[in-house]
Every structure is written in structure tokens, then in C-alpha cells.
Amino acid sequence: MNKFDFKLGIIVALIFSAGFLLNILQNKNQTINQLEQEKEQILIELDDALKIKSQKQKKSVKKRTKKVKYQGTIGLVIDDFGYRNDAVSEGFLGFKTPMTYAVIPGHQYSSLMGGEAKKFGFEVIIHMPMETHIITKGEEDFILMTSQSDEEITSRVNNAFKQIPQAVGMNNHQGSKATEDRRVMTAVGNVLKDKSKYFLDSRTTKNTIAEETMSLLGVSTARRKVFLDNSDNLNDINRQVDELANSAKKDGVAIGIGHVKENTLAVLKKRIPELEKSGYKFRFVSSLLH
Ligand SMILES: [Zn+2]
């Protein structure tokens, strides 16, 4: 190799090295630019995310501070548990609202339903069969008749509480004749007083003296204001729910009675959440007594 070749070799090597270095530098610059762009993009996104978060927070604060105006208190009683153990009774056990379930003694599912209602968090009362002005059948071992002695009435009321021990009170099933009878209602009231249980007057006759008799005896009591399902028609039940809500708004408190029936269940499933959202409170009857 001569001297010239050697120099040329070095020059060529230098040129290549310079090109290589330049290439590295260029790449590095590109990477830096890319990183800068990405950083900017991330900052923009972060900024947006923070804005959205603060907007959401503002909204939830607004939601929390937007108070629903209180409208009134409703006591909802469902009568006639004990006859059936099916999808309808099960549907009622699915409510998450405080309700009072009245179980009629002397039927196939009386004890079972008392236990189930209590287990699912409902208030349980005895739905006591009582004599009407027309002749009816059923509950022969439990029905309270004006022809019975005080001892017989006492024994029947005691037996009902033995069958449904979860019960904290009582209301009347039918009973247009018995609830007009001072002696019968006094006999009933004396047992309830002994047991510290309450009596809700279902008011199946306008001449009832049940509530008044209980007050005289010192038994906690209240009265039914609206029957929800005397008619099984969906529109009629809805109208009765409206009436119950209006009464609660007007008087502060109103007690409504419905029954373990399919259409009643359907209407209440829809209406209870609506009423709660619009400012009505649902309470057990035990907290609405005088
Ligand atoms: Zn009934």
C-alpha cells in the first residue's frame, strides 16, 4: 500500500464516520421532537381529563345538594298473607321499602309467611278474622264473633299470636259487625294491652268503634285511610295510590291497605320508587300510632 492509498483510506473512513455520526444525531433529533410532541399531547389529554373530572364533581355536588321536598309519610299494609305461597307473595317479599304485612291465621301458609316476612325485614301483624254483617266462611278456629264469651275471644287472640309469633300488632280482616261491638273490641284490646301490641282499625264499617276503644284502653292504635285494591283494575289501583299520596300530603301521614294480589304488586312496584323519589317516606305502622 502506498502513502496515497493510506491517506485516501483514512479520508474515506472519516467521511463514513462523519456520515454515521450525522445520521445518529439526526435520529436523535427526530426522537427528541417526537418525544416533545408526545409530551404535549399527553399534557393536552391530561388537561381535558381534569376538566371533565371537575365538571363531573360539580355535577355530583349539584345532585347531592338538590334536595327533594318532603311530601308526607305513608304506612303501607298488605293484607291476606297466608293464603298463598307463589310468585305473587314472593314478589311482595322482594320490596326494599318498609311495609307492614298482615298475616291471616289458620291457613296453610300462615306460619311460613309470618317467618318469611320478618326474615325479609317487614313488619308483621296478625290479620284477625272478625264477624261481618253477612255470613262468611273460613278461619273457623280464629274468627271473633259477637256471640263468643270474653274468654273465648281472649283464647283465640292468644292462639293467633302463637301461630304468628313475629306479629307486633293486629288489624281486622272483614269484621264489620265485630268492630262495632264495644264488648268484643274491649276483650281484644285487653289481650293486646297485656302483650304490648297495637291495633290498626281496617275500618270495614263507618260505624267502627275499634280505634276509639283501643285509645280508651291505652292500646296504641291508628286507622286505615285508603283501600288500594277494592277494584282489581290497574287504573283503579293507581288512582287509589294517588289518593293515598294526596292524603299523606294533606294530613302528614296516611295509612293504605292493599292485598297480596298480582295487580296490586305490579302497581306498587312501579309507584313506590316514584313516590320515594318525589319526597314521600314509607314507614312501618308501628311508628305511625297514637
Ligand atoms: Zn282481609
pLDDT digits (tens, 9 = 90+) for 268-281: 999 999 999 999 99
CA of 183 to the centre of ligand 1 (A): 22
CA of 79 to the centre of ligand 1 (A): 5
CA of 174 to the centre of ligand 1 (A): 6
Averaged pLDDT for residues 234-245:
98
At 137 the pLDDT is 85
> Is residue 44 pLDDT above 90, yes or no?
no
Same domain? 178 vs 48? no
CA of 128 to the centre of ligand 1 (A): 8
CA of 211 to the centre of ligand 1 (A): 18
Handedness of CA 274, 241, 213, 191 (dihedral sign): negative
CA of 109 to the centre of ligand 1 (A): 15
CA of 266 to the centre of ligand 1 (A): 19
**Residue with more model confidence, 254 or 51:** 254
At 155 the pLDDT is 98
CA of 277 to the centre of ligand 1 (A): 30
CA of 202 to the centre of ligand 1 (A): 9
pLDDT tens digits along 167-207: 999 999 999 999 999 999 999 999 999 999 999 999 999 99
Q: What is the pTM of this model?
A: 0.78
> Is residue 37 pLDDT above 90, yes or no?
no
Q: Which stretch of 27-31, 210-214, 218-222 has the lowest confidence by average pLDDT? A: 27-31
Band of residue 28 on the pLDDT scale cut at 50, 70, 90: low
At 135 the pLDDT is 84
Same domain? 31 vs 172? no
CA of 151 to the centre of ligand 1 (A): 24
At 79 the pLDDT is 98
Domain C-terminal end among 12, 31, 66: 66
Cβ(189)–Cβ(203) under 8 Å?
Answer: no
CA of 247 to the centre of ligand 1 (A): 22
CA of 185 to the centre of ligand 1 (A): 18
CATH number of the CATH domain containing 281: 3.20.20.370
CA of 70 to the centre of ligand 1 (A): 31
At 16 the pLDDT is 60
CA of 138 to the centre of ligand 1 (A): 12
At 201 the pLDDT is 98
- All three cell numbers of 124, joined, read 308483621
Same domain? 279 vs 246? yes
Domain C-terminal end among 66, 87, 118: 66
Q: What are phi and psi of 200, to 5 degrees?
A: -100, 120
Measured distance CA(33)–CA(190) in Å, rounded: 92
CA of 184 to the centre of ligand 1 (A): 19
Same domain? 188 vs 261? yes
Same domain? 17 vs 110? no
Domain C-terminal end among 17, 48, 66: 66
Same domain? 202 vs 102? yes
| Domain boundaries, position 118 | 72-287
Cβ-Cβ contacts under 8 Å for 81 (sequence gap 6 or more) = 89, 92, 101, 102, 103, 104, 109, 110, 113, 114, 117, 127, 260
The number of distinct structural domains making up the chain is 2
CA of 101 to the centre of ligand 1 (A): 11
Same domain? 276 vs 149? yes
- Which of helix, strand or coil describes residue 285? helix
